[in-house]
Structure 1
Amino acid sequence: MRVAVVDNPVRDPAETALTAVHRACLCRGWPEPDVAETTVAEPGGAQARAAVEAGADLVVVIGGDGTVREVAGAMAGTGVPLGVVPRGTANLFARNLHLPYSSLERSVAIALGGEPHDVDLGRARWGTPDGAVGEGAFVVMAGVGQDARTIELVRPVLKKHIRWVAYFVPAVATLGAPLLPMRVGRDGGPVRDMRLWCLLAGNVGRIPLGIEVLPGARVDDGVLHLAAVGPTHLVGWVPIALKGLLRWRHDVPGLAYATARSVRAETDEPVTIHVDGDEHAGVVWLEARIEPRALRINLPPGPAPDA
């Protein structure tokens, strides 16, 4: 078994996870893995492509959601399994796939020897007023609106020391932000004028504390799950929050769900978007689409989990 590792050294500064992967490979009688570190200029995709081209039988990524999405985007369609050793702040992809993010030994064992499953991958494109276009893959979700502004406001120090709890501090501060006018269309169909706090397009549906943002989302169901969030009053957040926490199945005002293979949102003024937690400011349109079962990933035994 030829294993390649794409390691984010910022997320694994003491090389604890990398050492664990080395040890596990040797215990299995496998050759020592090839290792490539991510950089700011090359955050993981190039390293993953090079590993596949060099004949790797398995690629293991060590890092957070941002590194995972870069590697996943490069490996989609290759058929080479991906093993994930989560070392990020939120580890949302790992949480949704029931990958052990708090036990390094277990996460390495599944990354190397889990059951391969074919899961969906999201692709996003976005544009600015001057015509510049960006693009990237996502394994969790992409969004446009005030939720992206929340991520933009996360203080790096708070994020480092309190981990995923960091996201909730600025979230509270932005709940009263004004709704944004958007034009939203699904699958190339009619465009609707909407006023939203945010629009989410997700591959999986849960965030920390078990909050269900996109009910019913499965990582292998072949569709994007959409949430249009637009409470007209601050008090409107109460039923929305309770629905996510308690997983209510009945509708609440200011929250609508849909599914699609693709979605496009346009805004009048430049706004911030996010793609798996990485924010991009000054954007006036966002497109997202799903690639069904494009990514092969090692998971715990059993069927792919409900996300």
Structure 2
Amino acid sequence: MKRAALIYNPIKADPDELKKLVKQAEQANGWDETLWFETTEEEPGGSQAEDALKQKADLIIAAGGDGTVRVIAEVMRGTGIPLALLPSGTGNLLARNLDLTLDDVEHALDTAFTGTDRPIDMGVIEIRDGDAGTRRHGYLVMAGLGLDAKMLANTDEDLKAKAGWLAYVKAIGAALRDENQLHLRYRLDGRSIRSVRAHTIMIGNCGSLPANILLLPEASVDDGEFDIVLLRPEGFVGWLQIMVKIFWENGVLRRTTAGQKLMGLTKEVRALNYLKGKELVLKLSRPEEVELDGDSFGRATAIRTWVDPKSLLVRIPAEAAPA
């Protein structure tokens, strides 16, 4: 009999109710009794995933937010063991980008025990902060420096737990008032070094953010490439151009055939630059905040990030599998 392991964040998921539903699902589908692991602040999921793999789990179910999913996936990368998602956080970014159920636990568990496996890319990043050494991490959705990283660094975690995405409003305001730009030199896929000033740079494995915001319209979780965006606004007009591109063109026009034809008549704007590549190396003129999948990872003076293609198996509904 196959056996699953469920790793849950007790702040995000109710274990008592969850155990009842898991027992029903495992029995209905002929699986052995599920292994249970609880995360803690000191051990947010990585060691639990390692223990589950040592105990020969055939499937690992992650019940928590984006941070929990990222930490577990970091350990599971390249193992060939599938990861199932039980979205329980504020953003649930990977689940959104895979069109998975966000608020139906029974359907998510049915997918876990009866679904099919989809191989997706993962990002790997090395973060250097001066003499502090180099840290390596994996990520699933996006890595960012600039506005989004400063916003996350300024976010009140207690308010976030109570108010969800509303907690970011105050933090966004503080980040927008910061007029310091990123001064960076980068090399993409081994090509020539470029120098640029930007307000924000985001490296994406996925393209969608909460509130149906399509930041990287051509991003795909399994194409073996990153989609990268540089935000370079100059004053109010620059921010307005970015808003029009992201919310109107990406969010509305791109979703219909008629809208896509209209997009052909619009011009690219200097405030928003898109790039594609498999490996990005960049150096910063001073330490800057960096974020991965919505969590702050301190400061970086340089990063190197690359795609590990189709290195993680994610469980999706059987009916959603490609023909």
TM-score range, shorter chain: over 0.9
Give the equivalent residue in structure 1 for 2:88. 87
Give the equivalent residue in structure 2 for 1:257. 274
Alignment pair present for 1:243 and 2:245: yes
Q: CA deviation at 1:121?
A: 0.7
Q: Give the letter for the 1:186 counterpart.
A: L
Q: CA deviation at 1:293?
A: 0.5
Q: CA deviation at 1:58?
A: 0.9
Q: Give secondary structure in 1 for the equivalent of 2:301.
A: strand
* Mapped partners of 1:297, 1:98: distance in 2: 12
1:229, 1:254 within 8 Å by CA — same for their partners in 2? Answer: yes
Greater fraction helix: 2
Q: TM-score normalized by structure 1?
A: 0.93
Give the equivalent residue in structure 2 for 1:54. 55
**Moved >6 Å (runs of 4+):** none
Q: CA deviation at 1:289?
A: 1.0
2:241, 2:271 within 8 Å by CA — same for their partners in 1? Answer: no
2:216, 2:229 within 8 Å by CA — same for their partners in 1? Answer: yes
* Mapped partners of 2:119, 2:199: distance in 1: 33
Give the equivalent residue in structure 1 for 2:115. 114
Alignment RMSD, CA only? 1.8
* Mapped partners of 2:19, 2:61: distance in 1: 10
5+ unaligned residues in a row in structure 1: which ranges?
none
The one-character-per-residue Cα deviations of 1:121-171 (angstroms, maximum 9, x if unpaired) are 111110111242212111111111221000111112321122233334422
The one-character-per-residue Cα deviations of 1:247-300 (angstroms, maximum 9, x if unpaired) are 155422311111111112211111110011121223211221111111111113
1:219 to 218, 221, 236: 221
The one-character-per-residue Cα deviations of 1:23-65 (angstroms, maximum 9, x if unpaired) are 3212323221011112223221222222223211111111111
* Mapped partners of 2:54, 2:296: distance in 1: 30
Q: Give secondary structure in 1 for the equivalent of 2:124.
A: strand
Q: CA deviation at 1:13?
A: 4.5
2:293 to 273, 276, 292: 276
Q: CA deviation at 1:77?
A: 1.3
Q: Give the letter for the 2:168 counterpart.
A: Y
Q: Give the letter for the 1:212 counterpart.
A: L
2:154, 2:174 within 8 Å by CA — same for their partners in 1? Answer: no
Distance change in 2, residues 1:22/1:36 (3 Å)? same
Q: CA deviation at 1:303?
A: 4.3
Q: Give the letter for the 1:5 counterpart.
A: L
Q: Give secondary structure in 2 for the equivalent of 1:265.
A: strand
Q: Give secondary structure in 2 for the equivalent of 1:130.
A: helix
For structure 1, which segment, 247-256 or 237-246, has the greater mean C-alpha deviation from structure 2 after superposition? 247-256
Q: TM-score normalized by structure 2?
A: 0.88
The one-character-per-residue Cα deviations of 1:77-114 (angstroms, maximum 9, x if unpaired) are 11111111011111111111111112222222222222
For structure 1, which segment, 26-35 or 93-102, has the greater mean C-alpha deviation from structure 2 after superposition? 26-35
For structure 1, which segment, 21-30 or 257-266, has the greater mean C-alpha deviation from structure 2 after superposition? 21-30
Q: Give the letter for the 1:145 counterpart.
A: G
For structure 1, which segment, 216-225 or 98-107, has the greater mean C-alpha deviation from structure 2 after superposition? 98-107
1:38, 1:47 within 8 Å by CA — same for their partners in 2? Answer: yes
1:204, 1:218 within 8 Å by CA — same for their partners in 2? Answer: yes
Q: Give the letter for the 2:210 counterpart.
A: P
* Mapped partners of 1:270, 1:131: distance in 2: 12
Q: Give secondary structure in 2 for the equivalent of 1:258.
A: strand
Aligned residues: 304
Alignment pair present for 1:291 and 2:292: no
Give the equivalent residue in structure 2 for 1:183. 185
